[in-house]
Amino acid sequence: MFAVIKLGKQLTAEIMTIDDLENCDNVIERAAEVISSGGIVVYPTDTSYGIGCDPRNRDALERLGAVKRRDMSVGFPLLFADTFQCESYHDFGSLEKVIVKIFWPGALTLIVHARPEVPNHITTGHSSIAIRVPDHVIPRSIARRIDGPIVGTSANRTGGPSPFDLTVALDQLSNEVDLYIDGGVSPTHNNSTVIGVQETAEKGDALNIKIYREGTLTLEDISQKLKVDSDAMRFWTSRIIDADM
C-alpha cells in the first residue's frame, strides 16, 4: 500500500505500509529497486527502525552519512540476509560460528575483522566492521534481493532519539529519504547488543567475549545460552569483558 504523509507545508515523503509481513513482496521489490538505484530507505527491523543503502555504492553511502549528520570515519553497521552472505565480508572464527549459530537471526551485532577485499569506503580504513543478520523479513529480504548487505544504522540524526516508531524517523529525516517502510511499532525499545571476540594470553584457542553495547540481548542472556552449548565452552573462556578494558 502507498501513502503520502505531509510534513509541514512544503515537505512530503513517500511511504509504503506493511499490512502483512507474509505478503509484502511488493514492498521488498520496491525497496530493492530504490537501493539498487543508489537511493536511501528507512525500514523496520527487530530493534529500532533502520536507514539503509547499498554500502557498495560510495555515493549512496556518503549521502546517507549526510542525512544522518554522521562522521563518515566511524563507519556503518551492515545487515545481511544470512550467515552465508556475511562470509564475503568476514571469515568466521570458531567461537564466532557458535555465537551466530545461537543468536542469529537476532538482535546481536558482531564486531569482526573485515576481509582484505572489502572496499576502504566501507571499512573507513579500519580493520573491523559491524555485521548482523536481523530477525526481520524486510531487511533480510532486501539484502537477499540486491545480493549484498544493506547499511543497518538507526534511522535518526546522530544524537537524536532512536526510532522505534516510524514517526520518530520521519520527524528527524523528513524528505531526505527516498522511501519509508512503515511496519508499525518496533517489537522492542532497545537497540541491538554489540559484542566481539578477543584473543587471550592463555594457551589454546579459548577467547574472551568483549561487550561494546548492551541492548535488547542482555549479558546474562548471552552467558546463559553459551554456557549450555558444548561447542561454545570449547572456545570461550567464560569471560565477558568491557570493551574499554
102 and 27 in a single domain? The answer is no
- Cell numbers placing 166: 516510524
Residue with cell 561494546: 212
29 in the same domain as 52: yes
Cβ(70)–Cβ(77) under 8 Å? no
Whether residue 197 is found in the same domain as residue 77: no
86 found inside a domain: no
CATH number at residue 169: 3.90.870.10
Work out the average pLDDT over 175-188. 96
Q: What is the predicted pLDDT for the residue at 2? A: 41
What is the model's pLDDT at position 71?
92
pLDDT in tens, 119-165: 999 999 999 999 999 999 999 999 999 999 999 999 999 999 999 99
Residues sharing a CB contact under 8 Å with residue 25, sequence separation 6 or more, in sequence order: none
Whether residue 109 sits in one domain with residue 35: no
Q: Are 107 and 146 within one domain?
A: no
In a domain, 89, yes or no: no
**Domain membership flag for residue 36:** yes
In this structure, are 116 and 177 located in the same domain? no
> Are 58 and 7 part of one and the same domain?
yes
Residue 217: pLDDT over 60? yes
Instruction: Say whether both 71 and 140 belong to one domain.
Output: yes
**Does the pLDDT of residue 6 top 50, yes or no?**
no
* Dist CA 104 CA 132 (whole Å): 8
Per the structure, the complete domain to which residue 141 belongs is given by: 2-81+133-182
Specify if 90 maps to a domain: no
Question: What integer pLDDT is reported at residue 4 of this predicted model?
Answer: 42
Quick one: pLDDT band at residue 21, thresholds 50, 70, 90? very high
Domain identity same for 18 and 77: yes
Q: What pTM, to 2 d.p., does this model score?
A: 0.93
Give me the pLDDT at residue 202, please: 61
Do both 13 and 99 map to the same domain?
no
Q: HEC string of the chain?
A: CEEEEEECCCEEEEEEECCCCCCCHHHHHHHHHHHHCCCCEEECCCCCCEEECCCCCHHHHHHHHHHHCCCHHHCCCEECCCHHHHCCCCCCCHHHHHHHHHHCCCCEEEEEECCCCCCHHHHCCCCEEEEECCCCHHHHHHHHHHCCCEECEECCCCCCCCCCCHHHHHHHHHHHCCEEEECCCCCCCCCCEEEEEEECCCCCCCEEEEEEECCCCCHHHHHHHHHCCHHHHHHEEEEEEECCC
Whether residues 120 and 223 fall in one domain: yes
What is the structure's pLDDT at 204? 60
What does the pLDDT average to over 182-208? 86
Q: What is the pLDDT of residue 123?
A: 97
pLDDT of 203 > 80? The answer is: no
Q: pLDDT value at position 13?
A: 73
pLDDT band at 12 (very low <50, low <70, confident <90, very high): confident
Same domain? For 196 and 76 the reply is no
Work out how many domains the chain is built from and give that number.
2
Starting from the edge strand earliest in sequence, which strands make up the sheet with 2-7, in order? Answer: 2-7, 11-17, 179-182, 41-43, 50-52, 153-154
